[in-house]
Amino acid sequence: MLVTVLGAGAGGGLPQWNCGCRNCRDARDGRLARMSQSSVAVSTDGRDWVVLNASPDIRDQIGGCPALYPQGLRGSPIRAVVLTNADVDHVAGLLTLREKTGFALFATAGVLAVLRDNPVFGVLDPALVGRHAITLDTAFVPAAGLTVTPFAVPGKVALYLEDGAGVDTEAMGEQTVGLCIATDRARLYYVPGCATVPDWLVARLADGDLLLFDGTVWDDAEMVATGTGTKTGARMGHVAMQGPAGSLARLAPLTGCRKVFVHLNNTNPALQPDGPERRQVAAAGWTIGQDGMEFRL
């Protein structure tokens, strides 16, 4: 299995257009690598690719990944797009993929309903882009040799779908899913959004060769502490890295796979290569994801 991280950043990427935090300043000045928004590409043969989440930055991501270039006058090696939720940073890129080239679109019925209810997504020609509802814990095949099984993880509805009432940030259902992508020889888990790490999830991830996991925030209150926002990571539906309930501690039993953080927010201090947070991440056996990172499983 070939895996390419097209975008390792959370919504807004790095630098975020309206942010002057330390990480964003360092990215503008070249001291930190820039990150586009969350997306991954997977293939078994390097010719047919499945994209996991359609980032708003997908045009530039394709431009930076020769494997995704058209092989003729028109066309694309992207055979399918699989969505893990309806967040803007995971669906907005679909609007870029509207130029009369076919691919299959896979998402839960709930996420497909969100796209159906917003007429702007009608620019995807239904004669060319088939929309396929996926069922939790039921495998499907988006491209030859790849079997994908979606499973619910704790999370919430997309921000623009919140109705003002109390929001369940740890809901279990179709609104937030993880993906198990498997071939006959390798297994990838992709979980770019997750609010908590219960015991059953640790057990489920135990047979993976590679885990790409939600690394949005280091500390639950980091946006409040840095003055860049008013919401905690938990309120946004993302588990923090640090702390006894954080991903570093909760996923420590997973010692048989490579563990990489993706969906990293621009405020996360673990992005600083020489900082104490990065040292803790490395000591725990994790890698901070970067755009263009490639894996062969």
Q: What is the pLDDT of residues 217-263, one digit of tens each?
A: 999 999 999 999 999 999 999 999 999 999 999 999 999 999 999 99
Distance from C-alpha of 3 to C-alpha of 186, rounded to nearest angstrom: 11
User: Is residue 106 a part of any domain in this protein?
Assistant: yes
Kindly state whether residue 32 falls inside one of the protein's structural domains. Answer: yes
In the block, residue with structure tokens 């840095």: 226
CA angle 15–106–190, rounded 5-degree value: 50
Residue 178 has pLDDT above 90, yes or no: yes
List the beta strands (DSSP E) in 37-83: 39-43, 49-52, 78-82
Dist CA 75 CA 178 (whole Å): 29
- pLDDT tens figures, 31-47: 999 999 999 999 999 99
Asked whether the predicted pLDDT for residue 205 surpasses 80, the reply is: yes
Q: Judge if pTM exceeds 0.85.
A: yes
CATH number at residue 195: 3.60.15.10
The candidate with the shortest Cα–Cα distance to 280, out of 252, 245, 257, is: 252
In a domain, 188, yes or no: yes
Domain with 51, as residue range(s), is: 2-289
Q: What is the mean pLDDT of the chain?
A: 97
Does the residue 31 lie in any domain?
Answer: yes
Is residue 294 assigned to a domain?
no
Is residue 232 within 8 Å of 265, Cβ to Cβ? no
What is the domain count for the chain? Answer: 1
Write down the pLDDT at residue 201. Answer: 98
Give the C-alpha distances (Å, rounded to integers) separating 81 from 68, 111, 136, 184. Answer: 13, 13, 17, 21
In a domain, 201, yes or no: yes
Whether 145 maps to a domain, the answer reads yes
pLDDT digits 0-9 by tens, 109-159: 999 999 999 999 999 999 999 999 999 999 999 999 999 999 999 999 999
Whether residue 296 is contained in a domain is answered as no
**So what's the pLDDT on residue 233?**
96
**164, pLDDT greater than 80:** no
